[in-house]
A and B are shown apart, each in its own frame.
Chain A
Amino acid sequence: MSTNPSLAGGGWMLLRAGALRLLLPIEEVGPAEHLDGAPVVTDQPGLFELRMADADGGSSLVAALSAQLQPLTEMPADRFVVTPFPSQPGVFLAWDEARLLPAKAVKLQPLPAVMCTADSPLTHYAEIDGKPAFYCNAERVLGYAFASLH
């Protein structure tokens, strides 16, 4: 049985994309931003160009995840907030909801052993608002989500 992950920082970020609800340590997620305008389709299905109003006028890539943690080829209209990830500069994910939770609000439990394999990105869950939200670290979830992209 795996031990519960410990928090280095002060809390959690609950990120929702349709039926998918993820819990990431707050220090692994950059500040959430409102998505202004529709992201532009790129040559790579599942990745969109995100034009940021930052100082150098550069662009970043954004993806929207399915309930199975896979990049969607169309950006759902209700993904209105994007988050960067310090471990993967230049890549954003789009969400329906991004909510800060204090550390004490989350009681992680290990997923049943039968649901965990060496490749599965999720190991724990916590019940938030009556439903499971799945713990993962940012590096692992991004690696899993983008494994199918070239």
Chain B
Amino acid sequence: MLEDSPAQDASLVAWTESAPASAPAQLVECTRGQSAALPLHTAIELLDQLTTVDVPGAPYACDRLLRWRDQWLPLMDLGVLLNAYRTDSQVAPRYALVVAWQDGPRAPLAYGALALSSPPRVVEALDANHCPLPTGSDIWPVLALSCFEHEGKPVPVLDAAALFRHFPD
């Protein structure tokens, strides 16, 4: 079982204390039946024409660079990350959602991208719908700032910085 870091605990407190009673979030599908959300301000751009390059030896969940503007971004596949494996029959992602974060106060924006099979949609994350993280994966406590229930299912709110941090060796 992965352990929560103190930094993540602090992020969780900050998120829960400063968040309004509801906030819009981008809902993304990770796997069939499991979605996650991103705070609206972290989602920068949705791409539907993807230029990617394989990076040999990189972790399966993030083994491609995506061309975006004048940069190459790490392209994260949340489905592979959650399942901890990739099958040969995995369908190439149709979309990529560019996300931004700061690694610290006044740090420059850093960017990454999420591989998606369907476009994200904006939903309202209500404080009243706060719920425990799903138990289906050990990775949620590491990646999630919070969790809310949407359409009867728990939806973790992702910490973009944690998502693109080092994989544990």
What is the bound-complex CA distance between A67 and B56, given in angstroms? Answer: 7
A-side interface size class: 20 to 34
Task: Check: A120 CB closer than 8 A to any chain B CB.
Answer: yes
- A132: CB under 8 A from chain B? yes
Q: Residue-by-residue, is A122-147 near B (CB-CB < 8 Å gives 1, otherwise 0)?
A: 10010100011010000000001000
A114 in contact with B57 given A125-B72, A127-B72, A132-B72 (CB within 8 Å): no
A68, B56: Cβ atoms closer than 8 Å: yes
* Alpha-carbon gap, A119 to B59, bound state (A): 10
Whether the Cβ atoms of B56 and A121 lie closer than 8 Å is yes
**In the complex, B85 has a CB within 8 A of chain A:** no
B side interface size, CB within 8 A:
21
Indicate if B7 sits at the interface (CB-CB under 8 A).
no
Q: Closest chain A residue to B168 by CB distance?
A: A117
* CB under 8 Å from chain A, chain B span 55-97: 55-59, 62-63, 65, 72-74, 76
Q: Is B54 an interface residue (CB 8 A)?
A: yes
Residue ID in chain B nearest A121 by CB atoms: B57
A137 to B59 CA separation, bound complex (whole angstroms): 20
Q: Does B32 contact A (CB under 8 A)?
A: no
B154 at the interface (CB under 8 A from A): no
Stretch at the interface among B14-22, B34-42, B131-139, B159-167: B159-167
Chain A contacts with B in 42-88, Cβ cutoff 8 A: 67-69
Closest A residue to B164 by beta carbon equals A114
The complex places the Cα of A20 from the Cα of B53 at a distance, in Å, of 9
Whether B169 is near chain A, meaning CB under 8 Å from some CB there, is yes
A69:B57 contact, CB within 8 angstroms: yes
CB distance from A104 to the nearest CB of B (A): 20
A residues near B156, Cβ cutoff 8 Å:
none
Indicate which residue in B57, B112, B164, B169 contacts A144 across the interface (CB closer than 8 Å): B57
Chain B CB within 8 A of A149 CB: no
Known: A127-B72, A132-B65. A114 touches B56 (CB 8 A): no
Query: Shortest Cβ distance from B77 into chain A, in angstroms?
Result: 12
Q: Is the CB of A114 within 8 A of B54?
A: no
Instruction: Name the CB-closest residue of A to B55.
Output: A115
Most interface-central of B57, B63, B164 (chain A CB within 10 A): B57
A19 near B76 (CB under 8 angstroms)? no
